[in-house]
Amino acid sequence: MVVLIVSIILILIIVAITIFFSAIKFELINFTIKDYEDLVEIIKLIKDKKYAGISEHTDFILKLKFCFLRKIPIINFKISDEGIARFLKKQIRKNKLKKEEKEIKKYAIEDKKQIENDIPDINIEKLQLLMNIGTDNASFTALSTTAITILISILMPFLVDKVEKENYYYEINPIYSGKSVFNINASLVLSIPAIDIIKLIR
């Protein structure tokens, strides 16, 4: 009996240590929006809160990795955009019953500090981004591409621990064709400590 108890305690300690020193990596591979029409449809779906339909206008693969010491993969599996769409539809059906507005406000006021403390430590380990933007107005095209480039440049230092040139690349190109043009191709690896994920879902 004593041996069993000691074994259970040792297993729990090992699991706790593994979780504490581990991170979950989200690897987004070849996220693609092919044209302007797809972008317009995505914006409409977001506005109407029909998030499950977004995958019909995008193409990507999502990999999830549970990594010990943020480097050694222990668990590794892949999810397609169709799989994420099915998951979102299930979640939306489960969450149709909403809380009363008063309860939401009360929660927001009472737990504001707790929510701020629970913001996860997100680190971008890799970013490969190519975006082409064009509008019927050359000045607006130039301004929008410049603004996006500046915004990314400002945000990167807050999301990246160590910059390695081969892991970070983004190119925002203006397309002066006199018509609306938009396409994007991106690959991204995010790392979040496992302990922070547990705090969020607890």
Determine the average pLDDT of the residues in 44-58: 79
pLDDT of 141 strictly over 80: yes
Decide which of 123 and 93 is more confident.
123
What is the reported pLDDT for 202? 59
pLDDT of 173 strictly over 50: yes
The stretches of 2-110 forming alpha helices (DSSP H) are: 2-20, 36-47, 81-94, 101-110
pLDDT confidence band for 132 (50 / 70 / 90): very high
What whole-number distance in Å separates Cα of residue 146 and Cα of residue 127?
Answer: 19
Query: Poorest-confidence range of 18-22, 162-166, 168-172?
Result: 162-166
Highest mean pLDDT among 41-55, 81-95, 115-129: 41-55
Residue 55's alpha-carbon distances to 9, 88, 183, in angstroms, are 44, 10, 15
| Mean pLDDT, rounded, of the chain | 76
CA 72 from chain center: how many Å? 21
What whole-number distance in Å separates Cα of residue 32 and Cα of residue 46?
Answer: 17
Highest mean pLDDT among 4-18, 27-41, 159-173: 27-41
Determine the average pLDDT of the residues in 29-52: 83
Residue 64's alpha-carbon distances to 14, 26, 78, 189, in angstroms, are 22, 5, 6, 10
Determine the average pLDDT of the residues in 7-11: 83
What whole-number distance in Å separates Cα of residue 22 and Cα of residue 27?
Answer: 16
* Single-letter amino acid code for the residue at 46: I
pLDDT of 109 strictly over 50: no
Query: Poorest-confidence range of 37-41, 73-77, 162-166?
Result: 162-166
Determine the average pLDDT of the residues in 167-188: 87
